[in-house]
Structures are given as structure tokens and as C-alpha cells.
Amino acid sequence: MAAHELSSTEFFADRSPATPLAAAETVYCFSILAEAEPGVMPRVLELFAKRGLVPTRWHSDVTGREGRDLSIDVQVNGLDVTTGDYIARCLRQVFQVETVLTSQKHIARNA
């Protein structure tokens, strides 16, 4: 069976009883492609800061031909899907932001 055909029940069937999905913390991930301009990073960070959120990970690289693109990867622990989706919509409206992709991952909570 191809991986894309697995249901969520089948996918998580391998999880050990020590780390059930309910005990996992959700990490909301944003992948942003923008023009490499000085004002982009503060405008992106502002969307998190005005909600009292501090990203747990932030990585950015100047990429593309002649360094014209800026790639930013941001992760926020414990962010619910509704708020994460709203922030993604806001990011897509930021001047000089071209693309915003999102995903969520689950990590085991430390007891």
C-alpha cells in the first residue's frame, strides 16, 4: 500500500503505548518564500509577537539567483491549527511575501 493511501488510524497504529497521539504536542510549521529585503523578517515576526508567541525555531537563508529570495522556516510549539491557519493567511498578505506553506508535526511530551 502506498504511503498516501494510509488512513490516520493505520498511520498511528505503530505508535508505542508510551507516546499516544493524545500525549503529543503539536508543532505548527511555516515555510515562507519572500523577496530578500530588510523589512520582511520584522514584518513576519510581528505576526507572532503581537499574539504573544515566540517561535521555538527560526531559520532563514538568502537564496535564489543573485540572492534575491529569502527562505524563512518558522516553528511554533503548541499552536492550535485554527490560529496557525489564520497566521498563515496573514503572512500571505505581507508585502514581499510570495509563498507560505504550512504543516504540523507531533512530538512526544516530556513527562
Q: Give CA–CA dist 88/106, Å, rounded.
A: 19
What's the CATH number where 85 sits? 3.30.70.260
Torsion angle of C-alpha atoms 20, 24, 28, 31, degrees rounded to 10: -70
Is 51 a residue whose pLDDT tops 80? yes
Which pTM value belongs to this model?
0.75
Residue 66 lies in a domain: yes
CB 58 within 8 A of CB 74: yes
Q: Domain range holding 54? A: 20-108
Is 19 a residue whose pLDDT tops 60? no
Residue 101 lies in a domain: yes
Confidence at 111, pLDDT banded by 50, 70, 90: low
Q: Which percentage of the chain shows pLDDT scores above 70?
A: 77
- Into how many domains does the chain fold? 1
